Amino acid sequence: MSWKMYRWVWQVKSPIHIGWAPSGALNRTKLYIPARTIWGAFTAEIARRRANNSFPNYDSVGAELQKNIRFTYLYPAEKINGNWSAWLPSYKLNGFTSELPVWNNEEESKKYLSHRKFKKILLASLPSTAINPKTFSADESTLREIEVIKQYWKENGLDDNQVSFVGYVFIRDEGLKNEVFTINELFIGADTRYGFGGVVRKEDPLLQDKCFGKEVKLDAVNPVVKADTILGHVKANSRGGFNFSGSVELVQQWDKEKILISGLAWMPGSFTSEEKEFVILQNGFWDINSEKG
């Protein structure tokens, strides 16, 4: 069964925190939303809708989504000339490798921002502390800041100043597609019970034949993207993985207090010397394509 690929847009309605390594008292956030985080949000929403006042079967729904759906990472987007245009990371600038990713606008290829500048217009930090119930004052050594993705860009002159996210979804089950596409609001990331992570879908998902401008193969076991710059994590010990340039980080994926993946992975924006075929796996990672056909 072939995959169908759709491009969709999600607008930020409340601050989003996607956990990353802390820096001192600052709980930092990623600037994009990983595929596994998106999968978790849809699993929770669909399981609760199907539960009918019983306990949601998260395991069953999660396995069904992994079998029949693949998500790309979601990247920040702004509206330019009436079109939603994503900002994509790359460690390559004018043929040279940079120490931090630069952020390129997919619609305007010559428009890019440094990592520092991009964080400045996209992120904010919120103070937080634990309250001692006996004194109703701040508990000792609990003062911290939480870095979040804001609802609005910190620059004027945009067609739409609200921050949105753009990405792609691959689906091969029509019934599940209809179920997923009826969901217009999600809560993604950390602290959703406190109102963080609210996003709403903008417009109807559009059927596409390219993923962020790159060729795709939709008739394989897993969706395949042909690219020289990865837009998902690739394990550093993956076949051919050491031919990358860019940056690596330690990634861990947890499920019911068990570690599913633990190890170094090339970060989104890392690149190879030539285009390669990457498959999008169930866990949201990309991998060098070894499939036939």
How many folded domains does the chain comprise?
1
Question: Could you tell me the two tokens for 228?
Answer: 């020289």
Q: Closest Cα to residue 90, out of 216, 227, 225?
A: 227
Phi first, then psi: give them for residue 242, nearest 5 degrees.
-80, 5
Q: What is the pLDDT of residues 122-149, one digit of tens each?
A: 999 888 777 778 777 777 667 778 899 9
Four-point Cα dihedral 146, 201, 68, 275, nearest 10 = -70
190 within some domain: yes
Query: What residues make up the domain containing 137?
Result: 4-210
116 within some domain: yes
Environment class of 244 (CB within 10 Å of its CB; exposed 0-12, middle 13-18, buried 19+): buried
268 within some domain: no
Question: Could you tell me the two tokens for 217?
Answer: 């193969």
More confident residue, 132 or 224: 224
38 within some domain: yes
Q: What is the pLDDT of residues 57-92, one digit of tens each?
A: 999 999 999 999 999 999 999 888 888 999 999 998
Question: How far, in Å, CA of 230 to CA of 222, rounded?
Answer: 16
281 within some domain: no
3-state secondary structure the chain: CCCEEEEEEEEECCCECCECCCECCEECECCCECHHHHHHHHHHHHHHHHHCCCCCCHHHHHHHHHHHEEECCEEEEEEECCEEEEEEEEEEECCEEEEEEEEEECCCCCCEECHHHHHHHHEEEEEECCEECCCCEECCCCCEEEEEECCECCCCCCCEEEEEEEEEEEECCHHHHHHHHCCCEEECCCCHHHCCCEEEEEEEEEECCEECCEEEECCCCCCEEEEEECCCCEECCCCCHHHCECCEEEEEEEECCEEEEEEEEECCCCEEEEEEEEEECCCCCEEECCCCC
The pLDDT score that the predictor gives to residue 40 is: 94
Q: What is the pLDDT of residues 41-60, one digit of tens each?
A: 999 999 999 998 899 999 99
223 within some domain: no
- CATH at 203: 3.30.70
Q: What is the pLDDT of residues 101-116, one digit of tens each?
A: 999 998 776 678 999 9
* Confidence check: pLDDT of 293 > 50: no
163 within some domain: yes
Q: What b/e string do you get for 196-208 counting C-beta neighbours within 10 Å, with b at 16 or more?
A: bbbbebbeebeee
224 within some domain: no
Query: β-strand 210-211 against 248-255: which pairing, if any?
Result: unpaired
